[in-house]
């Protein structure tokens, strides 16, 4: 139990990677705030927690400042402080650049980039007040670093939102380091979650991916959770502004 007495907020914890991250925090003894726009899905995650786990569900749309402020206020009221924030909530959409609407551009950036901005700012203020340091982990993507276009599926707005989050990680790591707050990214490759379900059901897409991944398998949500746990430990205090690729080696070549 490496995270006993730690309080963690995980956004998008009602599904996929976020759910696995929340469950890994429970296994390490942390108190976890399961924050998701889908409250029923968040409740399902809590139902999977080991008996005796300390948890709270907060319905939050990370694109809305009032929701984010409420999430932070409720957490501090209930548990006293916040030690760890995982900015995991994210959406993907496949549209070629020339067909991309302003509304779709805004939606993807609002969830994937504005959400982490709002959450990190609100949580960091509480971490500084509490004077206990802190850990922020942003879930980016290999697509923050390269354009992936299997079977012609384009997602330029996803690329730019995750590229933006990669740089927000570095900028906030610099500004928050004097408060003992580290900020790092975990960049997944392709992970089997509802997010990728449709694509992975297409044998041609799966083959395209496996040809490029030296580990010869797609990722599991627990692969992502393991990296997040490592970056959340007290022992990782000298790591900040870094990216851990969890991609089976995809980005080596």
Ligand X SMILES: NC(=O)c1ccc[n+]([C@@H]2O[C@H](COP(=O)([O-])OP(=O)(O)OC[C@H]3O[C@@H](n4cnc5c(N)ncnc54)[C@H](O)[C@@H]3O)[C@@H](O)[C@H]2O)c1
Binding-site ranges for ligand X (CB under 6 A)? 11-12, 14-18, 36-38, 41, 60-63, 88-91, 111, 139, 141, 188, 190-191, 193-196
Q: Which is nearer to ligand X, 131 or 151 (CB)?
A: 151
**75 or 88, CB closer to ligand X?**
88
Write down the residue that tokens 């469950």 correspond to.
23
Among residues 89 and 137, whose Cβ is nearest to ligand X?
A: 89
* Nearest distance from C-beta of residue 192 to ligand X, angstroms: 7
> What is the chain's length?
253
Q: What is the C-alpha to C-alpha distance for residues 147 and 183, in angstroms, rounded to an integer? A: 24
For the chain, what is the largest distance between any 2 Cα atoms, rounded to a whole number of angstroms?
A: 52
Q: Is 238 a catalytic residue?
A: no
Provide, rounded to whole angstroms, the least separation between the CB of residue 47 and ligand X.
15
User: Least Å distance between CB 178 and ligand X?
Assistant: 28
Residues 191 and 221 sit within 8 Å (Cβ to Cβ):
yes
Q: Is 36 helix (H, G, I), strand (E, B) or coil?
A: strand
CB nearer to ligand X: pick between 37 and 154: 37
**Which tokens in the block code for residue 99?**
């067909």
**Nearer Cβ to ligand X (5/147):** 147
CB-based burial label for 171 (10 Å; 0-12, 13-18, 19+)? exposed
Q: Is the dihedral of CA 194, 196, 139, 123 positive or negative?
A: negative
Of 25, 26, 79, 158, which residue is the catalytic one?
Answer: 158
Taking the complex as a whole, the smallest distance from the CB of residue 198 to ligand X amounts, in Å, to: 11
Nearest distance in Å: CB 4, ligand X: 26
Strands 31-36 and 181-188: unpaired
How many Å apart are CA 84 and CA 10, to the nearest integer? Answer: 8
Q: Where in the sequence numbering do the catalytic residues fall? A: 158
């Amino acid at each position: 139990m490496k995270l006993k007495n730690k309080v963690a907020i995980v956004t998008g914890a009602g599904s996929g990677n976020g759910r696995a991250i929340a469950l890994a925090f429970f296994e390490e003894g942390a108190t976890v705030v399961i924050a998701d726009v889908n409250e029923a899905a968040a409740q399902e995650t809590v139902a999977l927690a080991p008996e005796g786990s300390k948890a709270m569900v907060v319905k939050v749309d990370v694109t809305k400042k009032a929701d984010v402020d409420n999430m932070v206020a409720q957490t501090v009221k209930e548990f006293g402080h916040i030690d760890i924030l995982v900015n995991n909530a994210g959406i993907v959409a496949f549209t070629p650049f020339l067909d991309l609407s302003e509304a779709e551009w805004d939606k993807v950036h609002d969830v994937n980039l504005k959400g982490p901005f709002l959450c990190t700012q609100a949580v960091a203020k509480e971490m500084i007040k509490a004077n206990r340091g802190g850990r922020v982990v942003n879930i980016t993507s290999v697509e923050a670093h390269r354009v992936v276009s299997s079977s012609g599926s384009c997602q330029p707005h996803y690329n730019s939102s995750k590229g933006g989050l990669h740089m927000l990680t570095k900028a906030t790591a610099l500004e928050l380091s004097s408060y003992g707050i580290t900020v790092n990214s975990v960049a997944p490759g392709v992970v089997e979650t509802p997010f990728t379900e449709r694509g992975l059901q297409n044998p041609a897409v799966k083959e395209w991916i496996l040809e490029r991944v030296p580990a010869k398998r797609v990722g599991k949500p627990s692969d992502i959770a393991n990296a997040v746990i490592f970056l959340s430990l007290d022992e990782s205090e000298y790591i900040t502004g870094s990216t851990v690729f969890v991609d089976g080696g995809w980005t080596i070549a």
